[in-house]
């Protein structure tokens, strides 16, 4: 199992990263109840080897970006790749509406750079495809900003294989961020396509272990490795494919360290196969 993934000759990251979605307030809305802790969670992740952080303008909105910005300021010597997303608007807690107006996408890329304190975005992903605009309009605008040097790489989120193929005719696509975890394999075909074409597959909601937490199989395997069920779920993802980059999110410094330790768990093929059968 490879523990790293290369986007290009300059961007080689540890596969297990950190997702900042849980840092803002309830419903991913407003500030954290403890902003200092939010920053500390990120710096703790960096101090424990994480060099890939996923965020989005819609998280807060922007509060997660501001926490990432402060953490990067405190860890200026760390070589961290930041991925962010544009194309989802917020109307309140737990409310999300895709907007793919080219001018809006351009504005949000600029605001991401501002709130993250970066002069370019290493990986900019289209958060959702807006059916009211063509892919050419949405990905095409990101491609223009790539040519301007404001975006290094372009990715997509929650898309089908056909949408990836269509986007690849407009601009080079390096990543896809779809929902995928130990028990939800709905997008297995997207993962297979990513694997075949060396696209980073960044599963969101990677720790959907709730309904399995009391399951005998997962509990038995976790006990066998002296690990927590969540760690086993992450270890399974890491073994499933070398293009999978899990980005478990948490607002706890203890949990972030626990999640990172999952990359040291080498599941046997027999245990992997048992877990594999739990999916649907």
Which among 70, 79, 71 has a CA at the least distance from the CA of 11?
79
What are the CA-CA distances from residue 280 to residues 29, 212, 232, 242 (Å)?
Answer: 31, 13, 17, 21
Q: Is 234 part of any domain? A: no
Q: Catalytic positions, please?
A: 59
User: Residues 96-122: what's their mean pLDDT?
Assistant: 98
Residue 39, Cβ density class (10 Å: 0-12 exposed, 13-18 middle, ≥19 buried)? buried
Pair of tokens at residue 79: 């070589």
Numbers of helices and strands, H then E, in the chain = 10, 11
Query: Domain containing 27: what range?
Result: 4-208+242-264
Q: Is 222 part of any domain? A: no
Question: Tens of pLDDT along 53-81?
Answer: 999 999 999 999 999 999 999 999 999 99
Number of domains in the chain: 1
Q: Is 47 part of any domain? A: yes
Question: Tens of pLDDT along 181-203?
Answer: 998 999 999 999 999 999 999 99
Q: Both ends of the chain: CA-CA distance in Å?
A: 24
Kindly tell me if the per-residue pLDDT of 180 is higher than 80.
yes
φ/ψ (deg, to 5) at 201: -110, 110
Pair of tokens at residue 228: 């927590």
Choose between 279 and 156: higher pLDDT. Answer: 156
β-pair partners for 176: 156, 201
Neighbours of 96 (CB within 10 A): 13
CATH number of the domain residue 118 falls in: 3.20.20.100
- Looking at residue 120, what DSSP letter applies? S
φ/ψ (deg, to 5) at 177: -120, 95
Q: Is 216 part of any domain? A: no
pTM for the full predicted model: 0.96
Please name the residue that has the structure tokens 């073994």: 239
């Amino acid at each position: 199992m490879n523990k790293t993934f290369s986007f290009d000759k300059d961007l080689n990251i540890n596969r297990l990263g950190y997702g900042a979605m849980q840092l803002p307030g309830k419903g991913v809305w407003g500030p954290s109840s403890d902003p200092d802790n939010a920053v500390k969670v990120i710096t703790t992740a960096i101090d424990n080897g994480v060099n890939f952080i996923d965020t989005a303008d819609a998280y807060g909105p922007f509060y997660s970006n501001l926490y990432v910005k402060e953490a990067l300021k405190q860890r200026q010597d760390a070589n961290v790749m930041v991925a962010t997303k544009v194309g989802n608007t917020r109307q309140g807690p737990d409310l999300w509406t895709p907007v793919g107006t080219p001018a809006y996408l351009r504005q949000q890329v600029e605001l991401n750079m501002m709130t993250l304190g970066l002069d370019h975005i290493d990986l900019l992903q289209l958060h959702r495809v807006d059916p009211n605009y063509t892919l050419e309009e949405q990905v095409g605008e990101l491609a223009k900003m790539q040519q301007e040097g404001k975006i290094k790489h372009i990715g997509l989120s929650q898309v089908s294989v056909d949408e990836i193929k269509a986007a690849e005719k407009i601009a080079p696509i390096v990543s896809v961020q779809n929902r995928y975890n130990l028990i939800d394999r709905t997008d297995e075909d997207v993962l297979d396509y990513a694997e075949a074409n060396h696209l980073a597959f960044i599963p969101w909601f990677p720790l959907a272990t709730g309904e399995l937490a009391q399951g005998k199989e997962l509990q038995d395997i976790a006990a066998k490795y002296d690990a927590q069920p969540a760690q086993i779920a992450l270890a399974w993802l890491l073994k499933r494919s070398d293009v999978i980059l899990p980005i478990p999110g948490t607002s706890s410094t203890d949990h972030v360290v626990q999640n990172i330790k999952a990359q040291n768990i080498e599941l046997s093929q027999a245990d992997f196969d048992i877990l594999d059968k739990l999916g649907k």
